[in-house]
Amino acid sequence: MLVLTRRVDESIRIGDDIRITVVKIKGTQQICVGVDAPRDVPVLREELLVERSEASEEIESSNS
């Protein structure tokens, strides 16, 4: 994992098409980030992917 320090309005580029910008810092435990990516690139929060995966597993086990 690459760990970077950024300030408000500073960005990180991923490839040519994705930019992540620090929008706001709230206290010491929370930041707001903006993600600029092409429409065909899904941008999801990690916890949503975990929830989807768990829900899919539950559906599969109940169908068996």
Q: Is residue 20 part of a domain?
A: yes
* Total number of domains in the chain: 1
Tokens 């950024």, residue located? 6
Q: Is residue 22 part of a domain?
A: yes
- Strand, coil or helix: 62: helix
Q: Is residue 4 part of a domain?
A: no
Q: What is the pLDDT of residue 59?
A: 78
pLDDT in tens, 17-51: 999 999 999 999 999 999 999 999 999 999 988 88
Q: Is residue 24 part of a domain?
A: yes
pTM: 0.74
Residue 64 has pLDDT above 70, yes or no: no
Q: Which domain range does residue 36 map to?
A: 11-63
d(CA 47, CA 6): 23
What is each CA distance from 9 to 4, 19, 21, 23, 36, in whole angstroms? Answer: 14, 11, 6, 6, 13
User: 8 with 24: CB under 8 angstroms?
Assistant: yes
Residue 62 has pLDDT above 90, yes or no: no
